[in-house]
Amino acid sequence: MTVAVGVDSGSTTTKVVVLVNGKVACTTSAVTGPDPAKTASLCIDKALSECGHTFREISCLVATGYGRERVSGATRILTEITCHARGAHAMVPAARTIIDIGGQDSKVIRLDERGFVQDFIMNDKCAAGTGRFLEVMAARLQVGLDEFGEEWGRARGSVKISSTCTVFAESEIISLISAGVKRPEVIKGLCNAIAGRVASMARRVGIEPAVVFTGGVSLNEGVRRALEDALSQKIVVPPMSQFMGAYGAALFAQDLVE
Amino acid sequence: MWPRFFRLHKSPTQGNFPEKALRFLLERGFTYKAVETYLARKSNGQKSYQEVAASGILTELRQAYRRERPVIYTTAFVPTELVYGLGAVPFLPEVWSGFAASLGVAPRAIHISESLGYSQDLCSFHRCGLGLFGMGILPNPSAVIVSSHLCDGGRRSLYYHSRVAGCPLYVLDVPYSFDREARVFLARQIEHVAQDLVRKVPGLSLDHMRRAIEASNGARRVYLDVCRVRRNVPSPWRGSEALNYVSVFLSSWGSGWLPEFYGELLRYLERTVRTCAFPVGNERHRLLWLNLRPYYRTPIFDFLEKQFSTSIAFEEYSKLYWPEIDPDNWAEGLAEKMMSNFGWGPLERRIHAVWSMVEDYSIDGVVQFNQWGCRQSNGGARPLRDFLQKRGIPFLELDGDGVDAGNSGSAQAITRLSAFLEMLDSRGVIA
């Protein structure tokens, strides 16, 4: 029996995927908080106990994400770019472009037919184009992130959010609401703003189908639809899309075991 | 109107104790004697080429601060042979911005430049230079010579230095085309600048020109051998240090000590190859580094060299691009040097220069450090990326700031570099 563990210690969320004999046995996640090492350990323990295993039974552990250096017990450390590529290609073998939008960064990765990274681009300077941007705006609009898709569908038009700074974009939204613009139109404008920024990054590395969308924001229906419009491409959101980095890390761990 | 404006904004921090104390020390002969004594001690672990550079720079600093020779400020791509040939000391504020960053003085200088009214959008090498000048710790210039090619921010920011110091400013207008007519056009300007400076600045004369040109040619011949040895696999020189010595490459051609510096460096590199004492053990990858580097304390080079066993085998700003200069026709020779810069003219010139470095130095991947505000380099990144990728050479644009540590995150830089190196590793697996 082999127990391969992948840990993605992200800036916002820590994700763990456990493979037992090469098959996904369990996934778990938690808010990373101020102590990434402790959160990673707790997440690993929780995931293992859920699938009836213990830390001692781990055959191999690979860590990724911004906190990767702080994950104890890691056999190998890899960047989230390599791990996302591995996970997405395993899940969608036709994947050639990966768009990953996490809590505090976004990245676009171009793959070859073997799943190897050909090129990538990251944005972690500007909040526009991240999950955090959406969280701040959702709080301001008093709407849940899971309602974005529904609100998008209700919108009759869209407004242009021109600010790329979260603070100024928030002010812009307040102005729009004060001017009587309806919430669905504002939400569609927000999703378009993120999609527009990420689409520019994607064009920089070159877009080839199939385009796979991963990271926490991939679960946001509004952003997915906005991205499809911006790229004029169908976007594939695979199962476990928010766990793709940890899944890729677990697959690398499985390789090391084998 | 201009003089009044500049009087109003002159040296906003003059009067601060640390700057006044530093200025006091820089103007005293005993400071240089003390540093020379320290450097002369064999126990300080300096290599011979480092000692030559330190001694040469120190002598020029003393001459500049103690007004033993006139000081001429220039931008990075003005040939310094012109300044040495006039008997002056060249001073490049942007080079000293790099030093200020390594000494931790840059943040204060940058704040001061902003208080002078300069935008955060301006390249920090120039902002820091303006701030250092505002702090009153740079030597006083007798003249300023800038060029119209490559670096727009440098040309415009040195305008401020000339106005505050009340000294003449010369702009060498470098033609975009590369032919005999253009070379003569630029040569006439260079001659005019030299003659005008001799008239206006006491202590300058053209008597030094032949010696400066011959020193430059001599250094050039040795430097070509340095480049030949640097082609060795594994790399014989630590890239992070080579990137530091780009400052010498930019600012010391025509100095009497440069041939000796490159001679000592050559001997050191040959010895390294002979004894197999390579700085990066088990070299996994060889990178070409484009543009400058962060000069403040950063973990990214240790990460590359120690953790990832990756060498920066060569740097864009170390590439020698000009032919020998005829001492009897020095103005045309200097014009040709300026126009030969591969960063000037059609983008294809830079692309081909980069490709020649990739081939000459057995490069696996190219990293372009995208200095904040540096249009000359960043603007041409896309065609370069496409060109290299078509030939199977991965290209990484590493956004950052060479002087302002607050405008750049090392964790993000390391993630990008790690991913880039993992990409190179995966290519190795395929091969």
Topology (CATH) of B2-206: Rossmann fold (3.40.50)
Under an 8 A CB cutoff, do B415 and A122 touch?
yes
**Residue A229 and residue A103: Cα distance in Å, rounded?**
22
For chain B, the residue count is 431
Please enumerate residues of A whose Cβ is less than 8 A from a Cβ of B. 66, 78-82, 114, 116-120, 122, 124-125, 204
Task: Chain A: give the shortest CA distance to residue B418, in Å.
Answer: 7
Answer whether A3-82+243-257 and A94-237 agree in fold: yes
Q: Does B427 touch chain A (CB under 8 A)?
A: yes
Domain ranges (residues) in chain B: 2-206
Q: Which residues contact B348 (CB under 8 A, 6 or more apart)?
A: none
Is omega for the bond preceding A210 within 30 degrees of 0, making it cis? yes
Question: In 10 A of CB A76, how many CB atoms?
Answer: 15
Assess whether pLDDT exceeds 80 at residue B16: no
Q: Which residues contact B275 (CB under 8 A, 6 or more apart)?
A: none
Q: What is this structure's pTM? A: 0.91
Task: Chain A: give the shortest CA distance to residue B308, in Å.
Answer: 12
Q: What mean pLDDT do residues B16-45 have?
A: 84
* Closest alpha carbon to B314 in B371, B246, B250, B230: B230
Q: What is the pLDDT of residues B287-345, one digit of tens each?
A: 999 999 999 999 999 999 999 999 999 999 999 999 999 999 999 999 999 999 999 99
Q: Which of A82, A114, A118 shows the shortest C-beta gap to B422?
A: A82
Q: What is the pLDDT of residue B28?
A: 94
Q: What is the pLDDT of residues A43-73, one digit of tens each?
A: 999 999 999 999 999 999 999 998 999 999 9
Residues of A in contact with B389 (CB under 8 A): 118-119
Assess whether pLDDT exceeds 70 at residue B12: no
Under an 8 A CB cutoff, do A79 and B399 touch?
no
Nearest CA in chain B to A123: B412
Q: How many CB pairs under 8 A join A and B?
A: 40
Under an 8 A CB cutoff, do A79 and B418 touch?
yes
Task: Chain A: give the shortest CA distance to residue B99, in Å.
Answer: 26
Q: Does B430 touch chain A (CB under 8 A)?
A: yes
> What 3-state DSSP class applies to A16?
strand
Q: What mean pLDDT do residues B357-365 have?
A: 98
Residues of A in contact with B415 (CB under 8 A): 66, 79-81, 122
Residue A172 confidence class, pLDDT cut points 50, 70, 90: confident
Q: Which of B382, B409, B426 shows the shortest C-beta gap to A117?
A: B426
Topology (CATH) of A3-82+243-257: Nucleotidyltransferase; domain 5 (3.30.420)
**Residue A78 and residue B337: Cα distance in Å, rounded?**
45
- The residue whose two tokens read 């990739």 is B358
Q: What is the pLDDT of residues A111-154, one digit of tens each?
A: 999 999 999 999 866 666 788 888 888 888 888 888 888 888 88
* Whether B373 contacts B124, CB under 8 Å: yes
Q: Does B386 touch chain A (CB under 8 A)?
A: no
Domain ranges (residues) in chain A: 3-82+243-257, 94-237
Task: Chain A: give the shortest CA distance to residue B124, in Å.
Answer: 18
Task: Chain B: give the shortest CA distance to residue A82, in Å.
Answer: 7
What are the beta bridge partners of residue A108? A99, A121
Mutate to test the interface with B, among A116, A200, A201 (most CBs of B within 10 A): A116
Under an 8 A CB cutoff, do A82 and B411 touch?
no
CATH among 3.90.230.10, 3.30.420.40, 3.40.50.2300, 3.60.20.10 for A94-237: 3.30.420.40
Mutate to test the interface with B, among A124, A201, A251, A252 (most CBs of B within 10 A): A124
**Residue A211 and residue A231: Cα distance in Å, rounded?**
10
